[in-house]
Chain A
């Protein structure tokens, strides 16, 4: 586990600082990412959680240099000390292959439909080890397919991506990532399109890939459960920013940002019976013309005047490495979601009226 300390200059494998991404649209500028920073030590795993539109995927794409040309990216992304932002496509693709591997939600974005999967893995291997013979590359491909849990890999090695199920394809993508022997794997919602039983297999495959290559992992997901089990540190994103970050246990057991607390309280749990969930009211703000102040303020039960005017910076909010972007982080010490949020459901008055009134007409024309 590491401390995010911008002053420290150490062997971080990936160091993102002040990253911001803007998309100009007809209606104005969409500020999808607003000053995101994280650093990843060798072999470490970081979970980035957030709901749709929080900017978690855009952050990953920006790191990989995969955003469309129209996007304006600022800040700094350093991979092993070398700046990635502003590199040409050619220079980047070298880094992408060797240093940072990416696993997307839809495996078909990284697989070529016209080549057998084994060929694609072998090709990757040979790119990195030009002295590898064709035969050896193929053998290694079979081995990798086996490692990520594909049954009878010797047969599957000649299959085309479309002949495989979604889970199988995702495993192939992970095998390709392993073939690159990367230092960082960025997995963007790798299991979102899959069934739970398959999700468990894919997460296992990711773990295997990490163990074999020693790569650090950035796991981007909306599923708090996945993060809980597979990462050392967590960053919670909301409206394009990291609003809370820290060691996984601190985030889950002692959240210091009302949004994180609200998320945990909204989650139905398998391991305990809760009477009522405590939803977060309202919806995330539009990233277009974002008003000043804390973006979570309109939905926040702790909101005060200062929240509408000043956006709180990430600051120390607990034990070492636990940062929160809330003016009142200290008030959340020891608070449960049910103490902070209301368990709103149906409008009680309207419901009572509805239950009492009879339908307007009984007869039916049919």
Chain B
């Protein structure tokens, strides 16, 4: 076991207050692409996560937002060591998680939990809800004599009727199942919970209840949330700080208020202006920044800045010589005058809302 090491130096400009609980540095995750046929050779890599660094602080919600293929889910899983990192480091409580075997990892699982996106697929259909929530307690030898009471208490905590413990997951609606998933994650009283798109499968009216529940849990229990989502409106509501991901890289990180008021990365700007507002007058009067085309393949990401192929700034505003930097040089995530780290050579804050 590695000796408890001191905290890593903080990341300049990333913001956040309180002790860092989880520190991620230069995390890389590649998946091999194998050729077809009998002998499957490695013909390339899916660059899912490329050199991502962030700190998750005590009692904060860090939002991780990005579209499909941005690598946000892979990042979340790699942070929890559910996927082996290709390189880089994840520190929790002075321990380097990426080096731990599954067995060594087990005691840390009590502190680091996850809630999955799909409330239908993430609960075993063959065991009762009581058993689903009891499972973490049993695995970590905490079920004992009080286990049954504890499960009932957890059900009550997430707003479900404790008497329904003997039912099966499919007897519940989507929102109720997601609550079951939350109860399971809470059972071990973790410090960090990774929420992987916890509400994106739910209808709006149901989603609001789950969001309220999560926020109550956090403020009362002092949890740290890594909240992964593609929905910026949800992000704005729950997150203190937001990190925006595009094709495996962080492109901007800022306190939520600032990010939405004055986004500096062209991609963040495009994202913010693409979200439709449920307000007819505002929605019709908005200034829009639109991007072209679709997200490129993460197998062969563009050189330099990965967003340049769709970047409205690159296409319309930059001169030929300015574009060279975008093509040749990977923009570092650094403050370029906007007050927060942005990975764009020509970052510039714009007010969009």
On whether A and B touch (CB less than 8 Å), the answer reads yes
Number of residue pairs A-B, CB distance < 8 angstroms: 194
A351 at interface by CB-CB < 8 Å: yes
Q: Could you tell me which residues of chain B, from 196 to 237, have a CB within 8 Å of some CB in chain A?
A: 203-209, 211-213, 215-217, 220-221, 230-234, 236-237
Contacts of A277 in B (CB 8 A): 208, 211-212, 237
Shortest CB distance B224–A (Å)? 15
B257 at interface by CB-CB < 8 Å: yes
Shortest CB distance A237–B (Å)? 13
The docked-state distance in angstroms from the alpha carbon of A262 to that of B208 is 10
B-facing mask of A194-209, CB < 8 A → 1, else 0? Answer: 0111111101100000
The docked-state distance in angstroms from the alpha carbon of A24 to that of B196 is 38
A270 and B272: CB pair below 8 A? Answer: yes
The docked-state distance in angstroms from the alpha carbon of A227 to that of B68 is 23
B277 and A347: CB pair below 8 A? Answer: no
A346 and B158: CB pair below 8 A? Answer: yes
A51 at interface by CB-CB < 8 Å: yes
Partner-binding segment picked from B36-44, B73-81, B103-111: B103-111
Shortest CB distance B153–A (Å)? 6
A280 and B157: CB pair below 8 A? Answer: no
Q: A271-B279, A361-B144 are in contact. Are A346 and B274 (CB under 8 A)?
A: no
Q: A229-B283, A344-B209 are in contact. Are A197 and B270 (CB under 8 A)?
A: yes
Contacts of A354 in B (CB 8 A): 153-154, 157, 186, 220-221
The docked-state distance in angstroms from the alpha carbon of A199 to that of B31 is 28
Contacts of A351 in B (CB 8 A): 157, 216-217, 220-221
Partner-binding segment picked from A93-101, A181-189, A217-225: A217-225
Contacts of A52 in B (CB 8 A): 203
Shortest CB distance B347–A (Å)? 19
Q: A225-B277, A279-B209 are in contact. Are A195 and B142 (CB under 8 A)?
A: no
Q: A268-B236, A268-B237, A364-B110 are in contact. Are A229 and B293 (CB under 8 A)?
A: no
B208 and A266: CB pair below 8 A? Answer: yes
Contacts of B146 in A (CB 8 A): 360
Q: A165-B294, A204-B290, A229-B276 are in contact. Are A224 and B144 (CB under 8 A)?
A: no
Residue of B204, B206, B211, B212 with highest tally of chain A CB at under 10 A: B204
Q: A270-B275, A350-B153, A360-B142 are in contact. Are A345 and B221 (CB under 8 A)?
A: no
Shortest CB distance B254–A (Å)? 15
Shortest CB distance A273–B (Å)? 7
A252 at interface by CB-CB < 8 Å: yes
Q: Could you tell me which residues of chain B, from 139 to 181, have a CB within 8 Å of some CB in chain A?
A: 140-142, 144, 146-147, 150, 153-154, 156-159, 173, 175-176
Contact of B106 among A201, A274, A366 (CB under 8 A): A366
B283 and A197: CB pair below 8 A? Answer: no
B140 and A364: CB pair below 8 A? Answer: yes
A-facing mask of B286-318, CB < 8 A → 1, else 0? Answer: 001011111100000000000000100000000
Contact of A283 among B67, B175, B212, B293 (CB under 8 A): B175
A200 and B279: CB pair below 8 A? Answer: no
Contacts of B158 in A (CB 8 A): 346
Contact of A270 among B141, B232, B270 (CB under 8 A): B232
The docked-state distance in angstroms from the alpha carbon of A203 to that of B274 is 10
B12 at interface by CB-CB < 8 Å: no
The docked-state distance in angstroms from the alpha carbon of A121 to that of B157 is 56
Count of B interface residues, CB-CB < 8 Å: 74
B353 and A364: CB pair below 8 A? Answer: no
Contacts of B236 in A (CB 8 A): 268-270, 273
B213 and A266: CB pair below 8 A? Answer: no
The docked-state distance in angstroms from the alpha carbon of A164 to that of B315 is 22
The docked-state distance in angstroms from the alpha carbon of A60 to that of B217 is 41
Contacts of B186 in A (CB 8 A): 354
A263 and B204: CB pair below 8 A? Answer: yes
Smallest CB-CB separation from B237: which chain A residue?
A268
The docked-state distance in angstroms from the alpha carbon of A280 to that of B153 is 24
B260 at interface by CB-CB < 8 Å: yes
Shortest CB distance A309–B (Å)? 24
B204 and A225: CB pair below 8 A? Answer: no
B205 and A225: CB pair below 8 A? Answer: no
B107 and A346: CB pair below 8 A? Answer: no
Contacts of A283 in B (CB 8 A): 173, 175-176, 206
Contacts of A284 in B (CB 8 A): 203
B-facing mask of A86-118, CB < 8 A → 1, else 0? Answer: 000000000000000000000000000000000
B274 and A345: CB pair below 8 A? Answer: no
B283 and A225: CB pair below 8 A? Answer: yes
Shortest CB distance A158–B (Å)? 18
A267 at interface by CB-CB < 8 Å: yes
The docked-state distance in angstroms from the alpha carbon of A192 to that of B12 is 38
Contacts of A271 in B (CB 8 A): 277, 279, 282, 353
Contacts of A347 in B (CB 8 A): 156-157, 159
Contacts of B231 in A (CB 8 A): 268
The docked-state distance in angstroms from the alpha carbon of A117 to that of B232 is 33
Q: A201-B290, A222-B203 are in contact. Are A229 and B215 (CB under 8 A)?
A: no
A168 at interface by CB-CB < 8 Å: yes
A281 at interface by CB-CB < 8 Å: yes
B4 at interface by CB-CB < 8 Å: no
B212 and A279: CB pair below 8 A? Answer: yes
A274 and B205: CB pair below 8 A? Answer: no
B291 and A267: CB pair below 8 A? Answer: no
Q: A196-B230, A204-B290, A366-B106 are in contact. Are A267 and B144 (CB under 8 A)?
A: no
Contacts of A227 in B (CB 8 A): 278
Contact of B208 among A204, A226, A268, A366 (CB under 8 A): A268
Contacts of A248 in B (CB 8 A): 280
B157 and A168: CB pair below 8 A? Answer: no
Contacts of B295 in A (CB 8 A): 195
Shortest CB distance B241–A (Å)? 15
Contacts of A168 in B (CB 8 A): 294
Kindly list 10 other residue pairs between chains A and B, CB separation below 8 angstroms, not including A269-B233, A347-B159: A52-B203, A228-B276, A229-B276, A268-B208, A268-B233, A269-B236, A278-B208, A344-B212, A346-B158, A351-B157
20 of the cross-chain contacts (CB-CB < 8 Å) are: A51-B203, A196-B230, A225-B276, A227-B278, A228-B279, A249-B281, A263-B205, A267-B208, A268-B211, A269-B237, A270-B353, A273-B257, A277-B237, A280-B208, A345-B216, A354-B153, A360-B146, A361-B144, A365-B140, A366-B107
- Closest A-B pairs by Cβ, 5 of them: A225-B276, A345-B212, A266-B208, A268-B237, A279-B209
